Amino acid sequence: MSVYTAVTPDELDAWLARYALGTLVDLTPIAAGIENTNYFVTTARGRYVLTLYERLPADELPFYLNLMAHLARAGVEVPAPAPDRTGALFSHLNGRPAGLVRRIDGAPVEVPTPGQCAAVGAALARLHCASQSYRARLTNRRGPAWWRQAAGAVRPFVTPAQNDLLMAEVKFQTGFGKVKLPKGAIHGDLFRDNVLFADGAVSGIIDFGFAATDFYAYDLAIAVNDWCVERNADDAPDGERMGAMVRAYHDVRPLTDDERAQWHALLRAAALRFWVSRLYDLYLPRPGELTHAHDPVPFERLLRARAEAPARPLDI
């Protein structure tokens, strides 16, 4: 959510003519994040988030936007995309595919409690239940093939010990994706900053830029690896918060025996995916304004901890 493509108020006001949303009142850039250009937009008829998709090809956008619309109709806490006068959910603005979604009230939590982790686990399970009836499919562009490519690209920049960890984990994850686990449309990036809370409850799940067709339990592992870790010098996993999140998820969408058996490998895969992507964004960044590359060190520590832990099935 950095600003790579600048948009002026006059440019946006002209683009908004295709919508029945009234004239532009306010336009504010959103500086956090690393993938797309985002602005808060207020019009005469409501509040929205404008996204200009920097990396996603236009032919993939229907998967993301129609998924959000599908989930919103199912009652999942997701911002609904705003259609233009023709019913289209995106069009081009300053050379980039762009669309609007309704802005949801709420704010992320920095240090989640076990209760908040449970609320996120239940919300993610509801998302997965609703996505089972979503028929579109899209290969995960940050899946194992990308892990291998990106790991090779960052090798010149890392220490010998980091390189050993990278190569060992890529080897360990050989065959990921070929196991038989329930799959469908996942969020793919359910970190703390992508969940909004209001009045003590989950009010919004946002930023579907990494949504794809993949394992539901992998999506849960991604969330656990952010929500259920102590952000301190050790970046240590927090068993109480993980237990709360996983149990709440399981109460809504029961995890299968196979998912529980693969849990250790899924946690490691989720840690590898984000360590590699953060290394890549740190050492091989794109030029842009207001960009922010996340620190890769926490996921390096987490991956080491996950890899060194005994490989046990998930106990709920």
Could you report the per-residue pLDDT of 209-262, keeping only the tens digit for each? 899 999 999 999 999 999 999 887 677 899 999 999 999 999 999 999 999 999
Per-residue pLDDT at 162: 98
Break the chain down into helix, strand, coil percent, rounded to 5: 45, 15, 40
Q: Rg of the chain's alpha carbons, rounded to an integer? A: 19
Q: Parallel, antiparallel, or unpaired for β 24-30 and 37-43?
A: antiparallel
Question: Distance between CA 51 and CA 39 in Å, rounded?
Answer: 7
Percent of the chain with pLDDT over 70: 96
Question: Distance between CA 129 and CA 110 in Å, rounded?
Answer: 27
pTM over 0.85: yes
Q: Are 316 and 256 in contact (CB under 8 A)?
A: no
Give per-residue pLDDT as tens, 157-179.
999 999 999 999 999 999 998 88
Burial 155-175 (b: 16+ CB within 10 A, else e): eeebeeebeebbeebbeebee
CATH code: domain 114-308 is: 3.90.1200.10
Per-residue pLDDT at 274: 98
Question: Distance between CA 102 and CA 78 in Å, rounded?
Answer: 9
- Specify which residues 269 forms β-bridges with: none
Per-residue pLDDT at 34: 63
Q: Does domain 9-102 have CATH number 3.30.200.20?
A: yes
Task: Tell me the average pLDDT across 37-55.
Answer: 94
Strand segments (E) across the chain: 24-30, 37-43, 46-52, 91-93, 96-102, 183-186, 195-198, 201-205, 212-215
121 pLDDT above the threshold of 80: yes
Question: Distance between CA 234 and CA 252 in Å, rounded?
Answer: 32
Average pLDDT over the chain, rounded to an integer: 94
Domain definitions of the chain by residue range: 9-102, 114-308
